[in-house]
Amino acid sequence: MVRELTHFIGGQHVPGVSGNFADVFDPNTGQIQARVPLADRSEMESAIANAEKAQLEWGAWNPQRRARVLLKFLELINKDMDPLARLLSSEHGKTVADAKGDIQRGLEVIEFAAGGPHLLKGEYSTGAGTGIDVYSMRQPLGVVAGITPFNFPAMIPLWKIGPALAAGNAFILKPSERDPSVPLRIAELFLEAGLPEGVLNVVNGGKEAVDTLLEDPRVKAIGFVGSTPIAQYIYTQAAAHGKRAQCFGGAKNHMIIMPDADLDLVADALIGAGYGSAGERCMAISVAVPVGEETADALAAKLTERVRSLRVGHSLDEKADYGPLITAEAAARVSDYIQIGVDEGAELLADGRGFSLEGHEGGFFLGPTLFDNVTPDMRIYREEVFGPVLIITRAENYEEALRLPSDHEYGNGVSIYTRDGGAARDFATRVNTGMVGVNVPIPVPIAYHTFGGWKRSGFGDLNQHGPDAFRFYTKTKTVTSRWPSGIKEGASFVIPTMN
């Protein structure tokens, strides 16, 4: 039976009225499991109106009272973890264990955001001048929005919702139409946790819904995660309409393997970081860069052996290392990239295109693919594949290895594996990317630090979660105050100074 999904506006499930729908597939079978409505401009404007009205009450709550709603939400979602993870897995295709990780990394930001009462404190300077005090206040922006991708349907919405709500804003979430059920469930749980109706709205939609958020003056800030072309479009359109924006795009994450590294440790790290979640992660390691031919030959042999032992299976299979891709189009796109790599002359060590899961032949599965001798001029090196494809690009020496991620147009994350502390420190200092791992394969920072890439991986001055999130979702008001003391100074036509 095909489920009919809704929007969540004003604290209620609201059927779509535009007449436009998108299909939500079960990636394991290829069958349609739900239909999601795509909002038109009037539906999105209804959500904005609800949010604007509800924010007045929510923004007037004291920060500690708002934090209690986040803490109650944490309690409720942890009780709901197993069914929520299975729901996420059924629409996305990632394994249930990986789905739980998706949810947990989002909850860690909710835990951090519950510290909002401290993070929202302003600054105070007494005696800045004779009888003059200066202090600042952090105040909510009002209505803010998030546009989030399919590959983390829990984590990334929670990264944005938590700090925005803690700061006193109302939030409109436009999730991916490919796996929208978990975001809708998150909205239900926030309402159950005591969030006033209308403070959090979930509206499914396409370009018309997005453009409404960009153009409506009631929406003060927009966060986005997705492809680089759309990130750049949203960033420029938001700026043109006077809105704040933080937009994160594509990636091509490298792992540098120095000759002194433990290659068994490296191979295991690459297998997990490259093929986990079928490679559909913006922080997936997709380029291995061994330094020196001896290192490269040994690493290629170890990776080939491990790739052959990977288990691709149904997302509910507890023994599966990874499941299907999100859609048939995604699987076809990755298959096309594999052929491009072959045509460009890369050495194909493992080809995942012939994989079929018995009993689930209609599913969107691809086996693990491994290329060696990939050069920087090839498309499979330059472009984001976003699938279970790992490439090896050999470097003659450390300086060449350092240049590869530094010169790439994307600058999301990078990792180095070495036993040499000096080399690791030099690499972390000099490499031109936003996030660095040292003997860590996927350098996603913990919740109280900030997440964000450089170059064409990130647009905007402030990153996700950590202190930057509270800076992004608040505006600073500075007050200069003096109470009359009976001294009459007369009119002054000189700009005030602290002399």
Active-site residue, 247 included: no
According to DSSP, residue 457 is labeled T
Shortest CA distance to 247 belongs to which of 218, 282, 217, 216?
282
Reading the block at residue 297, the tokens are: 């030959």
Amino acid letter for position 22 = A
Dist CA 337 CA 325 (whole Å):
15
Dist CA 417 CA 269 (whole Å):
10
- Secondary structure class of 347 (helix, strand, coil): strand
According to DSSP, residue 395 is labeled B
Strand pairing report for 124-129 and 132-140:
antiparallel
Dist CA 103 CA 105 (whole Å):
6
372: left (phi over 0), alpha (psi -120 to 50) or beta: beta
Q: Contact at 8 Å (CB) between 146 and 205? A: no
Dihedrals φ, ψ of 483, to 5°? -95, 135
Dist CA 146 CA 337 (whole Å):
30
According to DSSP, residue 477 is labeled E
Counts for the chain of helices (H) and strands (E), in that order: 16, 23
Q: How many other CB atoms are found less than 10 A from the CB of residue 52?
A: 16
Q: Which residues contact 336 (CB under 8 A, 6 or more apart)?
A: none
For the sheet containing 3-4, what is the strand order?
A: 3-4, 31-37, 21-26
- From the list 110, 282, 378, 423, the catalytic residue is 282
- Exposed/middle/buried for residue 178 (C-beta within 10 Å: 0-12, 13-18, 19+): buried
Q: Which residues are catalytic?
A: 282
